Structure 1
Amino acid sequence: MAVALLIPFTFQLEPASGLILLGAAYTSTVAGGAVSAILLKIPGAPANIATTLDGHTMARKGHGAKALQLSFVSSAIGGVFGVLLLIFLTPVLAQWALAFGPSHLFWLAILGVTIIGSLDGSSVVKGLLSGCIGLWLATIGFDDIMGAQRFIFHDSLAGGINVIPALIGLFAIPQVINMFAKGRKRLDAEVLEVERHPVGDAIREVLRRGRALTIRTATGSIIGLIPGVGGQIAGLVAYDQSRKMSPEREKFGTGHSEGVIAAESANNATVGPSLVPLLPLSIPGSPTAAVLLGGLLIHGIFPGTDLFDNHPDVAWTFINSMLIGQILMCVFGLYIAGLAARVAQVPNAVMAAVVLALAIFGSYSVQTSMGDVYIMAALGTGMYFLERFGLSAAPLVLGLILGPIAEANFVQGSMIANATVGIGPYFFTGALNLTMIAVVVASIAYSVWMELRYRRFTTKEDAIEKEEALT
């Protein structure tokens, strides 16, 4: 939305200057969405969903400034790596991105489905139930391919459920209701004083977790290359894989710094690679890249194989400015981290009113539709009651995001398969398909193994405690 709103301001600018403005907005909004995710448990963008899982817990303990510093530093590192890929490997990676067809995107969506249960640290069953609710919500509206009408209970649902109003409702409205319920007390009784945290300590903390940072940045870069996937899946996949591979697995969800680093390095690493299929092939890699494509066309610049030959000054100025933008975003983010953390000390009555007003405005502005506001309010109220039964919003939102990707690519793949080699060979043969299937199976097997291991460990600890109590 920020990039789209800034396009009219570029009309009187030179093409290179206009694209610098749009690229800087793209870079900063992905990282800036972590501020509300950490301080209010309300993601500023879908890409920041995973950041709420540990970041908000850190803020509740008075470590909001530290969480923000970690998020901006890791975002900058991931973002710089992604832009470097864009600079040096665009021709090679563009052809690789084209290799992803409906069958591969279907298996990628299924990989996302396999991590739904593990996002809810308290219960795999409740996580899966939340994810199933999200998958059902994704079917509401008209089927894009067959034109069938599904679960349209109200005119507002005819166009389906837009992710942005759903995200605002599922995360913001339960928080608003809780704030109103607490009256004039502070946002959280634990946050009486915001601890000061030196920037140098945050940088050392990020570098100390170099293995997780490197792997999650690579994960975000690879997912960012795939057209139509986006940073929200990158952040959640990176968070889940970090949790599974970490020796401190039990700390995730309790305010663990590695969870914030993994999520933010991965989602910002998608910024550069999402432009890889756009510049040489005119294929947007994300919704924001599609808006940037509009900005290029307005200035008479047509992306394609000859972009770097016909307009090298504009193309390279734009790409290099994104590299500088990542650094400036980090500097500004670190500067405001200490001040922004004080949001946790704002009285509930004030904070609830502000958040509610922004939630209504944000939901309406996506499509200038009051129907989105009704959907936002209904989903938020429902989520408030679901949280009373131990269900969480993150798996539900992931199901809502993955549902259309999995369904659309399965239907498209089935139509192609029926006209060519058949469903079995189309979905289950080929090096890329087999690789994706192997990753899906490995993700499921690892999740089951870790769950059984955790249960055995817990049972053993309980037995030891009982034995000590008897003696």
Structure 2
Amino acid sequence: MPLRLAPFTFYMPPVPSLILLGAVYTSAVAGGSISAILLSIPGAPGSIATLLDGYPMSKKGQAQEALYTTFVSSLVGGVVGALALVFLTPPMARFSLQFGPSELFWTTVFGITVIAGLSSGAMVKGLFGGVLGLLLSCIGECPITGEERFVFHYVLSAGIAIVPALIGLFAVPQVVGMMEDAHVIFDKLRVQAKKGVLCQVIKNHAKYLRTLTVGSVFGTIIGVIPGAGAQVAGLMCYDQVKKMDKNPERFGSGDPEGVCASECANNATVAPACIPLLTLSIPGSPTAAVLLGGLLIQGMMPGPDLFTKHADVTYPFIIGMFLAQFFMFFFGIIASRYTHFVSNVPNYMMFAAVMVLCIFGAYCLQGSYEDVIIMFGLGVLMLLFSKLGFPSAPIVLGIILGPLAEQNFLRGVMIANTDVGVWNYFFSGGINLTLIALSVISLLWAIRSEIKYMRRMKKAAETAQASAQ
């Protein structure tokens, strides 16, 4: 969304233009959860983890509670991230400099291990989906050599972009599901506005102190790391909170704490992504790169001069990022009060409107009809896979993390071959070893949780069979 508004800033004064882009960035990350919760279609990549519990809550008639949870958690994470931008910019900028290609590669590997924990009871299918996503991410030109891979049709020459993939894998199967029930009202998501829900949600957040802490820390750290973004933070935090819980099976079945974990983390990345941008000219996320363009449009180069010569612009922008969290919360809560209007739309109207928006969203990314074709192709593929019980989240995660892993691995190999060698480059250094250890622990923990889950299911089936006899 900030990309679409960037041209409007050409003739605006510096302070309002940057505050506009920052506020839209903040609101878009949180606002993507609305369609994720109501329709199981993420409005932004950062909302992928939100729908895992948000949509099941909607099906239970708790859409309003899920949306309130989204914006309360987003406010907490966003304020923590904004405070980090205000008070921790110099040390966190130095921290971001510690991440070269090897550290970024292992960070991505750590994110890939999340795939194993996204599908309780179907880990093999989840891993298969993740591998498929990684393979799909290789389609197109190699980011380092420019070689074409797996391009058997001109439509694939530019590769698979994240937004068309996200729309195709999540939205198209959902729209087909609406078409199958076109004659009925959207009963499974029917919800009426209720009083006192917001106060109850705020009280519940007092019980989620650990989740809010983990989400804020994950979001702040991942936001500073160049290139990671909100989608990585949301999924990684969701996975870690699930692993730390005594009853991880409740996640994915409509638990508000799952929504809290995802939304707190992905909104905590927003302001910290501006730290390497303002100090080092390195965007912490793809959307932060648009803010870099906004600075350059105004004739300002990121670096120390921003905090000295251009302090009259930089500090109002930082304050604006802080205040934007509260405006996002205020308007988000107002919007959440009227979810029942969307929920009660007949299916035959809903699927038509959603499909038009899907085509519009896929096309507008690059103004390319090829993206629309890719969207429908992945949608048909996911429709077949969903019938076999394969989840879509691991496939999307593979598509998102694949390019990051490949680019940083190839860059690391090029650097290592001119100096210490590949082994020493990738398997030395405190950050590398820490990330490797975390990746191994995360994978083993997911396998352990899957074994325990299967044993419980087997025991429950045996108990049910014995009682039936």
TM-score tier by shorter-chain length is over 0.9
1:194 is matched with which residue?
192
> What per-residue deviation string (whole Å, max 9, x for no partner) do you get for residues 378-424 of structure 1?
10111111100001110000001111111111111111111100111
Question: What is the CA-CA distance between 1:455 and the residue it aligns to?
Answer: 2.7
| Number of positions where the alignment pairs a residue of Structure 1 with one of Structure 2 | 468
1:78 to 2:77 alignment:
yes
Q: Distance in 2 between matches of 1:192 and 1:275?
A: 40
Question: What is the CA-CA distance between 1:270 and the residue it aligns to?
Answer: 0.3
1:257 to 2:259 alignment:
no
Question: What is the CA-CA distance between 1:202 and the residue it aligns to?
Answer: 1.2
> What per-residue deviation string (whole Å, max 9, x for no partner) do you get for residues 50-87 of structure 1?
01100011011111010000000000100000010010
Q: Distance in 2 between matches of 1:164 and 1:48?
A: 12
Aligned pairs for 1:220-239 within 5 A? 220-239=219-238
Question: What is the CA-CA distance between 1:313 and the residue it aligns to?
Answer: 1.5
Question: What is the CA-CA distance between 1:221 and the residue it aligns to?
Answer: 1.0
Q: Distance in 2 between matches of 1:192 and 1:90?
A: 45
Question: What is the CA-CA distance between 1:13 and the residue it aligns to?
Answer: 2.3
Matched AA of 2:248: R
Q: Distance in 1 between matches of 2:387 and 2:263?
A: 29
Matched AA of 1:190: K
2:311 is matched with which residue?
312
1:457 is matched with which residue?
456
Question: What is the CA-CA distance between 1:457 and the residue it aligns to?
Answer: 3.1
Aligned pairs for 1:353-432 within 5 A? 353-432=352-431
State the TM-score, normalizing by the size of structure 1: 0.97
Question: What is the CA-CA distance between 1:167 and the residue it aligns to?
Answer: 0.5
Q: Is the 8 A contact 1:117 1:126 kept in 2?
A: no
Q: Distance in 2 between matches of 1:128 and 1:395?
A: 7
Question: What is the CA-CA distance between 1:27 and the residue it aligns to?
Answer: 0.6
CA 1:191–1:349 in 2, change beyond 3 Å: closer, same or farther? same
CA 1:4–1:466 in 2, change beyond 3 Å: closer, same or farther? closer
Question: What is the CA-CA distance between 1:469 and the residue it aligns to?
Answer: 4.7
Question: What is the CA-CA distance between 1:377 and the residue it aligns to?
Answer: 0.7
Q: Distance in 1 between matches of 2:165 and 2:156?
A: 12
1:183 to 2:182 alignment:
yes
1:159 is matched with which residue?
158
Q: Distance in 1 between matches of 2:420 and 2:132?
A: 34
CA 1:375–1:271 in 2, change beyond 3 Å: closer, same or farther? same
1:216 is matched with which residue?
215
Aligned pairs for 1:335-346 within 5 A? 335-346=334-345
> What per-residue deviation string (whole Å, max 9, x for no partner) do you get for residues 237-290 of structure 1?
011111111123111111011100000000000001100100011111111111
How much is the aligned-residue C-alpha RMSD, in angstroms?
A: 1.3
Q: Secondary structure at the match of 1:267?
A: helix
1:283 is matched with which residue?
282
Q: Distance in 1 between matches of 2:417 and 2:265?
A: 37
2:291 is matched with which residue?
292
Greater CA drift, 8-17 or 375-384: 8-17
Greater CA drift, 292-301 or 457-466: 457-466
1:332 to 2:335 alignment:
no
Q: Distance in 1 between matches of 2:175 and 2:127?
A: 25
> What per-residue deviation string (whole Å, max 9, x for no partner) do you get for residues 267-324 of structure 1?
0000011001000111111111111111111111111022101111110100001111
Q: Secondary structure at the match of 1:254?
A: coil
Q: Distance in 1 between matches of 2:298 and 2:468?
A: 76
Aligned pairs for 1:114-193 within 5 A? 114-187=113-186, 189-193=187-191
CA 1:384–1:330 in 2, change beyond 3 Å: closer, same or farther? same
Q: Is the 8 A contact 1:63 1:195 kept in 2?
A: no
Q: Secondary structure at the match of 1:273?
A: coil
Q: Is the 8 A contact 1:139 1:404 kept in 2?
A: yes
1:30 is matched with which residue?
29
Q: Distance in 1 between matches of 2:148 and 2:16?
A: 45
Matched AA of 2:194: R
Question: What is the CA-CA distance between 1:218 and the residue it aligns to?
Answer: 0.7
Identity of aligned residues (%): 49
Greater CA drift, 52-61 or 110-119: 110-119
Q: Is the 8 A contact 1:62 1:195 kept in 2?
A: no
Matched AA of 1:191: L
2:104 is matched with which residue?
105
State the TM-score, normalizing by the size of structure 2: 0.97
Question: What is the CA-CA distance between 1:461 and the residue it aligns to?
Answer: 3.6
Q: Is the 8 A contact 1:227 1:274 kept in 2?
A: yes
Q: Distance in 2 between matches of 1:121 and 1:454?
A: 7
Q: Is the 8 A contact 1:228 1:287 kept in 2?
A: yes
Question: What is the CA-CA distance between 1:12 and the residue it aligns to?
Answer: 2.9
CA 1:345–1:15 in 2, change beyond 3 Å: closer, same or farther? same
Matched AA of 1:418: N
Aligned pairs for 1:38-57 within 5 A? 38-57=37-56
Q: Distance in 2 between matches of 1:193 and 1:113?
A: 36
Q: Is the 8 A contact 2:34 2:43 kept in 1?
A: yes
Greater CA drift, 218-227 or 448-457: 448-457
Greater CA drift, 203-212 or 393-402: 203-212
